[in-house]
Amino acid sequence: MKSEPTTLDQMWDWADSALTRGVRDRRHPARHPVLATLGPHGPEQRVLVLRGWDGASVRLQTDAATAKVQELSADPRCSLHIWVPRHALQLRLTARAALTHGSADDWDRMPDHAREVYGGTPTPGTPMPHAEAFEPGAELGRYMILTLSCSRMDVLHLGPNLHRRALFSNDAEGWHGTWIAP
């Protein structure tokens, strides 16, 4: 168990290392962030696998036929939520998503079972007469990468005696943070 983050640099380091661990470690809670988007019925949320973090942007993967792709095409604003219980750390990232098709090289390296989440009939969200009516499939054209360019990160640490919260903003000079009331 780490001690407590007492400086803004440590708050940032805790957040950055949670995201880095989430990409590498399947058992880390940051592996499964919740992505929130704006849909026609209001806010929508769902769990995704965290695939990449480079210090400023997050990479996720999805089926191009899902509702989230339509939602992000209409409005790229989104947010990502992560809770790391053992570090009592909550991260809330504000971002804009860019949508690109996954590469054929990455597709070729993917095992068959992993490809099957990008495809299938009918497309996600379509009503079906029964649960078994879905036919799995793997379609390179539906393999989509979501790149979330993060403009803000709200980091909350629940300490035993003090709750600390910092807001980091990303501009042309990089990330800078300030303490805010928890």
Ligand X SMILES: Cc1cc2nc3c(=O)[nH]c(=O)nc-3n(C[C@H](O)[C@H](O)[C@H](O)COP(=O)(O)O)c2cc1C
**Which residues contact ligand X (rule: CB under 6 A)?**
32, 44, 46-49, 61-63, 66-68, 124-125
Q: How far is the CB of 47 from ligand X (least distance, A)?
A: 4
CB nearer to ligand X: pick between 78 and 155: 78
Paired tokens of 118? 């990008």
Paired tokens of 163? 């709750």
CB nearer to ligand X: pick between 61 and 170: 61
Whether the link from the prior residue into 122 is cis, omega within 30° of 0, is yes
Q: What is the DSSP letter of 11?
A: H
Q: How far is the CB of 51 from ligand X (least distance, A)?
A: 7
Q: How far is the CB of 25 from ligand X (least distance, A)?
A: 14
CB nearer to ligand X: pick between 13 and 25: 25
CA distances from 96 to 73, 76, 152 (A): 10, 5, 10
Tokens 């909550």 — which residue?
90
For residue 49, the tally of other CB atoms under 10 A from its CB is 15
**Three-state SS for 140?**
helix
CB nearer to ligand X: pick between 16 and 63: 63
Distance of CA 29 to the CA centre of its chain: 12
Q: How far is the CB of 114 from ligand X (least distance, A)?
A: 10
